[in-house]
Structure 1
Amino acid sequence: MTTITVTEVTIPDSLDAPDAPEFLACVDVRNTVWRDDSGTDDLTATAAELLPGWQKTTFEPKRMFAARLDGRLVARGIYETRTEEAADTVWLMAEVLRDARGHGVGEALAQHLEGIALSEGKTRAIVYAPSWKTGGIRIPSPTGFGSVPAGTPEVRLLQSLGYTLEQVERGSRLALPLESDVLQAAHDAARAAAGPDYRVHTWAGPTPPVWREDIAHLLTRMSTDAPTAGLEEPEDPWTVERLLEDEAKEAESPRTSIVAAVEHVPSGALVGFTEMTAPAERERTVGQEDTIVLREHRGHRLGMLLKAANVLWLEEVSPGHPSIITYNAEENRHMLAVNEALGFVPFVYEGAWRKDLLGSA
């Protein structure tokens, strides 16, 4: 008879702290799971890159859990919440090594995380679960865009736990470098379409002081303007205080933030931005983070302008990376069209699942 135990992982102050080994071991589990499932190193991350994110707890409380099968570390769980308006929601994740699947580890870990959520009065759980299988019988998204495979372990587990598929996200990869004349032409065409009322600004690293309030506003709008379908993800307010804490922690990471933002010249305010984070090693993949154009400024090709400008900026300040990875909701056809025009191609589809916890208490 196998024994499954779940314990909370201490987040260390540094990677050489006495309590760091379990955190480091869980990072190894994370990377092994993503490498084995995807067949690539594109989605792996170093402990030095991940630790700052785990230390940001004032506005983004999060906890890590380790699951052991007969004493062996085989899985990692994530329990993430927010404050204020979003405090009723919890985001969960379970990552189980391939050779430990089929023994109930994922279910035990999920039930442990849900138990904490119920004890804290959370009313809604959201899980983003990648589904790597292609073909076969599919479960369509209720949005009408995208699907996930039926009968796979992650889908069966989520359904057995009472989760409902609400949305499908597409993971896309852009191979670099792009032909410089093609990229520049896309940028110039978008800039011409935007006209003189819009101006692009770029920077690497922390947000310049003059733009902090605008970026905080745009980050808040990310939680209300991006399509979330039946997930009904709550507003996630950002302030300058939160932005400064976030950037202070991220400054400890070896990754570099690469940003392009667009200013509405008549008002002097930023109305859109896109951010990538580039690893220090040039042979590794760049991660695409947030991208938004405010609803009231759409229709001017600002999405293409921002994306093209930031790829050009990336090639200037951190050239040589092999690709960029991004995720978008399948129903976000405008942004997907921008990505496809630049050359992004799908590599994975991810189900976004919701469970109303009050009904399961």
Structure 2
Amino acid sequence: MSADALRWGILSTAKIGVRNVIPALLGAERCEVVAIASRDLDRARAVASELGIPRTHGSYEDLLADPDVDAVYNPLPNHLHAAWTIAAARAGKHVLCEKPLATTAGDAERMIRECADAGVVLMEAFMYRLHPSWEAVRELVASGRIGELRAVQAWFSYFNDDPTDIRNVVEYGGGALYDIGCYPVNVCRILFGAEPDGVSAAIARDPAGGTDVFTSAILRFGGGVGTFTCSTRAEPDQRVHVYGTRGRITVPIPFNIPRDRPAEVHVTAGGDPPVAPATEVLAFGPADQYRIQAERFTRAVLDGDPVPTPPEDAVANLRVIEAIFRAGQTVAGPA
């Protein structure tokens, strides 16, 4: 495909779109946001007026039928990702779909087939992976800067006990593991460069709504392990520690990386006892990971560049998530 700009349509007025993705699209090279849809037309008009989007639609079907839309951004609730991505593909639209790509690996595979059959690009919106700080972390690990990789440890949490929030509705694909646990699962897989050969988990569920509110998992990678906890009922925090045989890396803000200041990566390596290893603080940016995501997707569509966060990787991530859910069902407390 060759064009001066990719024309975007936005499915819904979801907060992540309004606060992060649409502003990034508006500032990205060769991107034009031409339409937004909501089942609440007044809400669509309000967001369009606020952000300068020229056209509104009162249904998702109308947006997909809009001939001036080349690509859609899909931030709908998790359980709707598959259906509306497939509908978009059948309408000839390229799709940037929020993570997790679907709620099952099977649905994600079906999305891939439908998009391939339609000849459109499908990409999972795993924006953190594209930030320069994470490209550096991957290179540090791959180069052996901290020796042989042995462990990845992550924490990701926020507090939200609103029963009406879609993230707390199990039928909508809510819960900690789908919403934020997908990040540490991805980090472990990416840094080890492999799929786990064993999974253990403990899951605490909301007794009323049924979503997982605390999930802790251990992923075994041959001679190494990835461990993490994610929660929707804890003080907001996020952090990743990476341990090797000769050093460690800490990423203080690994996922919701601020766009208004440099991102830090702390590297501690190089010392032999009794000399303590030195810690080097690397700084990257400021950079907007959502804008990088938009521009990389656009290059994949317009220039034929490789998709940087391919949907096949989303399938593998979902298989691990499914394994964690299965493992968590087997955990019982003392009698």
TM-score, with length taken from structure 2: 0.31
TM-score, with length taken from structure 1: 0.29
